Amino acid sequence: MTGNDDHVNTRVKLPAWIIDYVLLAAIWGSSFMFMKTATASFGPLPTAAGRVAIAAAFLLLIMLWRGLGRQLLTKWKSLLIVGLLNSGIPFACFAFALLYISTGLSAILNATVPLFGALVAWVWLHDRLTRWRVAGLMIGFMGVTALTLSQAKPGLTNADNLHLTLAVAACLCATLCYGLAASFTKKYLQGLPSLLTATGSQIGASLGLALPAAAAWPNSSPAWDAWLALIVSGVVCTSLAYILYFRLIEAAGPAKALTVTFLIPVFALGYGWAFLDEAVTLTMLGCGAIVLLGTALSSGLLPRKPH
């Protein structure tokens, strides 16, 4: 065999799941844009409630078709809690934040999910934190602080700065809820089929948000583009995204599936720039890189152990 043949045979082959990986990041990256459009007409609580209700109806049909309805009833209390933590509260928080900050900034803050996941697991489940992971937590929070301060410009009014602070706090509250939901699921819902957890959580979130959303429903009829954005966020960005995510976990494993969080801000920044005329600054990108580095370290993705 010649040297040229060896060169041909060592060609890098992409894994089969890479298409699902990129597609999932693209879909979840677009969810911020659709939620921003819907929130402008519906308001935060109705937007969040509409998204989870649409997703619940879509996933429920699939779940019943696969004969998992009986299992749903046995775990309804735990699923209600995880639904509020994993969908209801976070979606409402992000919808509120998108009234005052860009989709790109929201997506960068959303990338701290593994960071909060590691912190919650350490406190609640007593997961071990190495020196690298502790350093990652510190770097990640420093990045979030720098990112927030970079948005507080001298020309902003006190009200604008207050809204900015509340919006960032809402995003971090959402990511903290995601971290709590991950540990809660590991502790109380271990072994359940992924489709059952996804469907039950969306139903739980729908029930939890129903009354607050009804009280906050807008007096005037929302615009048609807001309805379209809400439907897309429910069917595509939640239901189909969940299906892709669980398929990715089966094909690539949970550790690789988790890293999709790092690709989401890339798409969100691009969508915001292309469709919403949002500015993408070097400072935002730099602070975002610090956040991603801290998150990668705190979640154990870096440094990689030698084989």
> What is the domain partition of the chain in residue ranges?
16-218+230-298
Q: What is the pLDDT tens value at each position of the chain, 307 positions in all?
A: 555 555 545 555 778 888 999 999 999 999 999 999 999 999 999 999 999 999 999 999 998 898 878 878 888 889 899 999 999 999 999 999 999 999 999 999 999 988 888 888 899 988 888 899 899 999 999 999 999 888 877 778 889 999 999 999 999 999 999 989 888 888 888 778 878 888 999 999 999 999 999 999 999 999 999 999 999 999 999 999 988 887 887 787 666 777 788 889 999 999 999 999 999 999 999 999 999 999 888 877 777 665 5
Instruction: Write 27-30 long-range contacts (CB < 8 A, 24+).
Output: 27/236, 27/237, 27/240, 27/241, 27/244, 28/237, 28/241, 28/260, 28/264, 28/267, 29/107, 29/263, 29/264, 29/265, 29/266, 29/267, 29/268, 29/270, 29/271, 30/236, 30/237, 30/267, 30/268, 30/271
**One-letter amino acid of 159:** A
Tell me the whole-structure pTM to 2 decimals.
0.88
Q: Which helix (H) or strand (E) element contains residue 87?
A: none
110-148 CB burial, b ≥16 within 10 A, e <16: bbbbbbbbbbbbbeeeebebeeebeebbebbbebbeebb
